Structure 1
Amino acid sequence: MVSINSITSIIVLATITLAQSLATAHPHNAQLKVYPRPTEMPTKGSFSVMVRSPKTEWVPLDMYLAKLSLINTTSGSGQIQESSMAYFDFSGTVDVEVTYNPSAVHSADIRPNSYGIIPKVRGNTLKFSLVQPRNLVIQVNDEIFDCLQLFAGSIETNVPAANDTDVIYFGPGMHSVSGGVLQVPSGKTVYIAGGGVLTSGVNFTNVHDATLRGRGILYNTPGGAITVAYSERILISGVTVLNPNGYAVTAGQANQLTIEDFHAFSSKGNGDGIDLFSCSDTLVDNIFMRNSDDCVAIYNHRWDYYGNSSNITLQNSSLWADVAHPINIGTHGNTDSPETMDGIVIKNIDILDHREPQMLYQGCIAINPGDSNLVQNVLIEDVRVEDFREGQLINMRVMFNSKYNTSPGRGIRNVTIRNLTYEGTNANPSIFEGYSEEKSIDGVTFENLVVNGKVIADAMQKPTWYLASDFVPMYANDHTKNLFFNRTL
């Protein structure tokens, strides 16, 4: 735990570094703000990026090295891959110029594809403009890892003062706390300014009404970057996690938790993004995750976290799973005292990639209750899946996985999947598999499922002896009941 004296020294240091940060802010236009990268932070030279408000001078962005993972399917080892990350804030319109330094640009994609951003390309440089905040992946010459993750955020408001007694303030530069973990008291705000890097974890345990926010980075934390345990009314906003030695966010028995405008990268084994255990009234909004395990996972009991999960919303986000699932629901629970997951909403999501050779762990969206969990009342809406490397579109199984479970799940009930689109050629057949007549999948309705431009519906034109699911393609076993494909387009 950080001492009061440590906090005081942090505040004094932050007051000095705040002045340094203001001196490096964009001098020409308050609608554009860039942040210095501390010289101690690793960088990567594949990309050079300039930004400007229209008809003003170009301003360079500092590049950060983001470490990612590629699993070797022969050895099982995770091979560290290098990628680039940069960020800035703006309002109004911003022009962006990206130069790819290794070679000419033969192809360029700005993702998510749903944004419809088509750059002008000349030589090894591409240009485009933005009129609203966006989390982007700029992919050149079909490179999977040597790409640029560019976060164009909104101008911060209500920035706290460095000398506010309710604020633990980290200004531009490198910071750490004794013990490697900052324990946040109730009622406090931890603020990491743009250009600031904290190499310690942030922990909210048995607290309420506390916040972590800013434009800074949590880097190479000794374990997971952020933990929220047995706490309520916690806000995590605006920060980025790079290279944690654990999950980006672990939340257990949290109530009224909000995670917004959040970005995370990982490369280590078990490098999950956001894992929620037995949480309620939780909102995850406008995140970008590129992880070496599940990007977002929703579970019940595990470790010392117990209880049902309810009223959880994931929305307005982009997910890229270099390993495992973009979205995974249901694996962990309490066989001795069965728990329920009720009221999960997933909407307006772009799934950028999914690469998982293991059949048991495939699925851009996986609902796999084990440990006597019941998953019910799920809405998945307006999800766009781009062509991914390897896996399934959907995997829905009431399962018993002897590696992780002590009993099979109790079932999946009442799931609506509306306006799900997939464009691509690499998807394996989706699997819907109930465990038994009692532990079944019952009541899954697709509305406007579109695969490569074709609306999949029970009433579609097809041979009468074909199933609509054949056109996904999807396999559903005999313990999957009341599976419907409707069309309202």
Structure 2
Amino acid sequence: MSDRTDRSRISRRTVLQAGTATAVAGYLATGSPASAEEAGADRVEVHPVPDGIPQNDSFEVRVRSGRRGRWQTVGVYNTTLKTINAATGGDQVHQSSVACFEFSGEVDVKITYTKGEIDKARIRPLSYGIEPDLDGDCLRFTLTEPRKVVVEVNDELFDCLHLLANPIDEDAPDPDDPDVVYFGPGVHTGEAVTVESGQTVYIAGGAVVKRNVSFDNVENAVLRGRGMIYGVEWGASPIRSSRNILVEGITIMNNPTGNAMDIAESEQVTVRGLSYFSSGKWGDGIDVFCSSDVLIEGAFMRSSDDCIALYTHRSNYYGDVRNITIRGCALWADVAHPINVGTHGNTDDPEVLENIVVSDVDILDHREPQMDYQGCIALNPGDSNLVRNVRVQDVRIEDFRWGQIIHMRVAYNPKYNTSVGRGIESVFVRNLSYTGTRAGTALLLGYDAEHGIDDVTFQNFSVNGTVIADDMQKPGWYRTTDMIPMHANEHVTNLRFLKAATAPTAEAPELLVAEAAESIAGAPTVLTVSALGYPESFAADGLPEGLAIDAATGVVSGAAVAAGSYDVVVSAANSAGTSQRTVALTVR
């Protein structure tokens, strides 16, 4: 890390005086909403939309805590979304609604559709099982845990409500802490904020920050809160050449161009609970370049390009992509892919994308007319990239508008690539389900005999309730792929479809983990335990207090409480057995 002692510290006072901070009525001096319920099991906190920020009047939203609290009105932001006209290639921009509040315990939600009667409604992700009660132009439902949902009435995909019901932030920082840059409720404009090592940027609920917030060559730094970054150009919050970074809880919306964030040449990065809405050009959500040990969890993204994309070399970024975990997210791509892996790389010095996990994800929609760029989950290595050791598990795909369930292609597109990808190896897809009728034929395409796809196993892959397996009942002259439908060309080898009870291997997993790792006491930490050989669960004994492993994905996350040296025994298991190894973890 570079020496940053020559840079002036950005204090809270400096930040707030650099631009304007529009006052918002209804807040206490601390930045807490005056309308917050008293402390208790059931609480609701509501934040007015600041003056000057466009609102949408298609929906009126009210909430109350615990079925007995008083009803409070939730402000509704206007956001813009985009589709591509398949006939002309032109952009079609649509107006839509976003409302956000925080709660704990139980909350009743009442939504009025101001344009008329609600004939039918659904709340997505459908896997949440939230069934609203309808009454004329109103619908009601109850939440018992934080959820980010789309409330869709009368089949309107754009004139819908994105409702962000967040957890209450019980640990907001002190605004007067010298290591905190604090944005209170209101509108904040001015120069971009460059976060320093050890610093926290906090955007409180009801705060709208029209400024980029960037991490450049820093460590142990945080951006969090319940407010939003709004209407900024070219990457709302880029993370470059940094480590031990946390972005948590914020919303990013209405960028005219560019994505929510690049994570580039960085390591140990956690992005948790991010909400994102875009209609701009190159409106990706999160793009990961040449980085390792990245955890993206609990994100809700509706984007005008890829929601999440993993690349190696591009621009001035160089290096492999390794140990990436995407879990507990809800993704909606109005353009391109919900998840895309491998398109860009370095032909002159080939790179690898490996140890990638997609787990417990809901894919709500996908609309892409170009067949080469379809795929709710797409593995598309070009530029001599090699994609290997990918696990997709417990993923639910709803009936998207236009595209493919999954797409794997060793690619060479002269428009984007300078060489063909090297290949795709070792992909394990477990408990993937699709319910719908509009999916096109999924494609698995090796480029040639030297640039192919090898070792792809689907286990318990369900299409409209039917498990696709090599031993399923079907006409004898059909291929298993015909039942999806899917086309796998002659350059795809060792492709299998198994039932849930069929073990994919008779051997224990082969652990892929470093012999030594390090972090910083109190700093956001991501360390990944991966494995070949169809792992089903992971464990770690001896982790320091503050760190925990996710048994489903193998990702270790949190913040270690105390410095020290720890011998951590990590393991990976499947039905055939368990493998383990000791990792020397140093927390400084």
Q: TM-score range by the shorter chain?
A: over 0.9
- Give the 5 Å matches for 1:57-96: 57-96=70-109
Q: 2:321 aligns with which of 309, 312, 318?
A: 309
Report how far residue 422 of structure 1 moved. 0.4
Q: 1:190 aligns with which of 194, 197, 201?
A: 201
For residues 9-47 of structure 1, the C-alpha deviation after alignment (integer angstroms, 9 at most, x for no partner) is 435798987617325332455521111210111100000
Are positions 1:56 and 2:69 aligned together?
Answer: yes
**Aligned residue number for residue 405 of structure 2:** 393
Rounded to whole Å, the distance in 2 between the matches of 1:67 and 1:177 is 23
Rounded to whole Å, the distance in 1 between the matches of 2:244 and 2:198 is 10
Q: 1:319 aligns with which of 303, 310, 331?
A: 331
**Aligned residue number for residue 439 of structure 1:** 451
Are positions 1:206 and 2:217 aligned together?
Answer: yes
Report how far residue 441 of structure 1 moved. 0.2
Q: 1:335 aligns with which of 333, 347, 352?
A: 347
Q: Which amino acid letter does the alignment assign opposite residue 346 of structure 1?
A: V
When normalised by structure 2's length, the TM-score is: 0.81
Q: Which deviates the most, 379-388 or 218-227?
A: 218-227
Rounded to whole Å, the distance in 1 between the matches of 2:33 and 2:245 is 32
Rounded to whole Å, the distance in 2 between the matches of 1:301 and 1:447 is 32
Report how far residue 176 of structure 1 moved. 1.9
Are positions 1:416 and 2:428 aligned together?
Answer: yes
Rounded to whole Å, the distance in 2 between the matches of 1:266 and 1:157 is 29
- Give the 5 Å matches for 1:14-29: 19=29, 21-28=31-38
When normalised by structure 1's length, the TM-score is: 0.97
Report how far residue 478 of structure 1 moved. 0.3
Rounded to whole Å, the distance in 2 between the matches of 1:72 and 1:38 is 34
Are positions 1:8 and 2:17 aligned together?
Answer: no
When the two chains are superposed, the root-mean-square deviation of aligned CA atoms in Å is 1.8
Report how far residue 79 of structure 1 moved. 1.6
Q: How has the CA–CA distance of structure 1 residues 5 and 116 changed in structure 2, closer, same or farther, with 3 Å as cutoff?
A: closer
Rounded to whole Å, the distance in 1 between the matches of 2:282 and 2:96 is 19
Tell me, yes or no, if the aligned pair for 1:379 and 1:417 is still in contact at 8 Å: yes
Q: How many residues align?
A: 487
**Aligned residue number for residue 519 of structure 2:** none
Q: Secondary structure at the match of 1:22?
A: coil
**Aligned residue number for residue 573 of structure 2:** none
Rounded to whole Å, the distance in 2 between the matches of 1:199 and 1:447 is 46
Q: Which amino acid letter does the alignment assign opposite residue 377 of structure 2?
A: I
- Give the 5 Å matches for 1:23-38: 23-28=33-38, 31-38=43-50
Rounded to whole Å, the distance in 2 between the matches of 1:306 and 1:322 is 30
- Which blocks of at least 5 consecutive residues in structure 1 are unaligned? none
Q: Secondary structure at the match of 1:21?
A: coil
- Which blocks of at least 5 consecutive residues in structure 2 are unaligned? 1-6, 502-588
Tell me, yes or no, if the aligned pair for 2:446 and 2:453 is still in contact at 8 Å: yes
**Aligned residue number for residue 139 of structure 1:** 152
Rounded to whole Å, the distance in 2 between the matches of 1:412 and 1:127 is 47
Q: Which amino acid letter does the alignment assign opposite residue 206 of structure 2?
A: G
Rounded to whole Å, the distance in 2 between the matches of 1:372 and 1:56 is 59
Q: Which amino acid letter does the alignment assign opposite residue 320 of structure 1?
A: W
Rounded to whole Å, the distance in 1 between the matches of 2:463 and 2:499 is 13
Q: Secondary structure at the match of 2:372?
A: helix
Q: 2:360 aligns with which of 321, 343, 348?
A: 348
Rounded to whole Å, the distance in 2 between the matches of 1:56 and 1:157 is 20
- Give the 5 Å matches for 1:222-233: 222-233=233-244
**Aligned residue number for residue 130 of structure 1:** 143
Q: Secondary structure at the match of 1:10?
A: helix
Rounded to whole Å, the distance in 2 between the matches of 1:18 and 1:408 is 59
Q: Which deviates the most, 219-228 or 8-17?
A: 8-17
Tell me, yes or no, if the aligned pair for 1:217 and 1:239 is still in contact at 8 Å: yes
Report how far residue 153 of structure 1 moved. 1.1
Report how far residue 270 of structure 1 moved. 1.0
Tell me, yes or no, if the aligned pair for 1:18 and 1:172 is still in contact at 8 Å: no
Tell me, yes or no, if the aligned pair for 2:11 and 2:181 is still in contact at 8 Å: no
For residues 250-290 of structure 1, the C-alpha deviation after alignment (integer angstroms, 9 at most, x for no partner) is 11111000000100000011110110001100000000000
Report how far residue 396 of structure 1 moved. 0.3
